[in-house]
């Protein structure tokens, strides 16, 4: 008996890429484009409505972060297969993706035919993580000085905001903690990383992809 085509949803705010990818999917006899959404909230509503077999989710989405959308979808639809797409290959992004529970990761620079093969693999129960993903995990995230081995999740949140130029009051308000607590986190971060000034702190954050909120 023939297998039913895999129903695919694309959640990406880059219209040209999403449209091009949708056309590739439409040409495949074993895949069906079930819908497209341009932001995280719209992606959530779309997936609730059509309940696709596979969702392609951009990591950086407006309105709702792509990996937050992934988390929601995995909780609501445990059987749904999920692939993240991104133009970012920094260690922080790779780390977040590796902790998210997704079944695949691709760069947006991958050829469409490679992505389609990855979709088939993931839809059939396998996983696909690009060579770049595996390289960053091996060469960066395994290092003793890797941020996730040194800093707590909260310290990472504080560091990302501090090096983006936020003052302690704004960081405290955003994270729901006191200004004094932010100050303690800043001190602990520098101590743990053995960094002596803001220039060194920014340099470390930039190298690891922790310089964007």
Q: Give the tokens for residue 157.
A: 């949140």
Measured CA to CA in angstroms, residue 188 lies from 6, 18, 156 at distances of 49, 43, 11
Tens-place pLDDT, residues 31-40? 999 999 999 9
Q: Give the tokens for residue 129.
A: 């993580």
Q: Indicate the pTM of the whole model.
A: 0.87
pLDDT of residue 1: 44
* Residue 107 · residue 84 · CB < 8 Å: no
Task: Report the C-alpha gap between 115 and 130 in whole angstroms.
Answer: 10
Task: Report the C-alpha gap between 182 and 203 in whole angstroms.
Answer: 20
Q: Give the tokens for residue 10.
A: 């694309």
Q: Directed axis angle between helix 66-76 and helix 40-50, to 10°? A: 20
Burial of 197 (0-12, 13-18, 19+ CB in 10 A): exposed
Task: Report the C-alpha gap between 141 and 92 in whole angstroms.
Answer: 9
Residue ranges for the chain with pLDDT beneath 70: 1-3
pLDDT of residue 99: 92
């Amino acid at each position: 008996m023939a297998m039913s085509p895999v129903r695919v949803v694309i959640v990406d705010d880059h219209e040209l890429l999403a449209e091009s990818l949708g056309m590739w999917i439409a040409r495949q006899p074993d895949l069906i484009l079930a819908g497209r959404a341009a932001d995280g909230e719209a992606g959530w509503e779309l997936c609730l409505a059509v309940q696709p077999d596979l969702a392609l989710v951009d990591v950086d989405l407006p309105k709702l972060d792509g990996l937050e959308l992934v988390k929601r979808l995995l909780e609501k639809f445990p059987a749904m297969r999920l692939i993240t797409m991104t133009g970012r290959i920094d260690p922080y992004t790779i780390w977040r993706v590796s902790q998210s529970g997704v079944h695949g990761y691709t760069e947006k620079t991958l050829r469409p035919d490679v992505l389609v093969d990855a979709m088939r693999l993931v839809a059939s129960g396998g996983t696909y993580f690009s060579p770049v993903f595996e390289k960053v995990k091996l060469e960066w995230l395994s290092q003793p000085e890797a941020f996730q081995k040194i800093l707590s999740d909260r310290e990472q949140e504080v560091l990302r905001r501090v090096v983006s130029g936020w003052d302690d009051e704004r960081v405290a308000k955003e994270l729901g903690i006191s200004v004094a607590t932010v100050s303690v986190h800043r001190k602990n971060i520098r101590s743990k990383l053995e960094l002596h000034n803001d220039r060194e702190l920014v340099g470390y954050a930039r190298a690891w992809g922790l310089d964007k909120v």
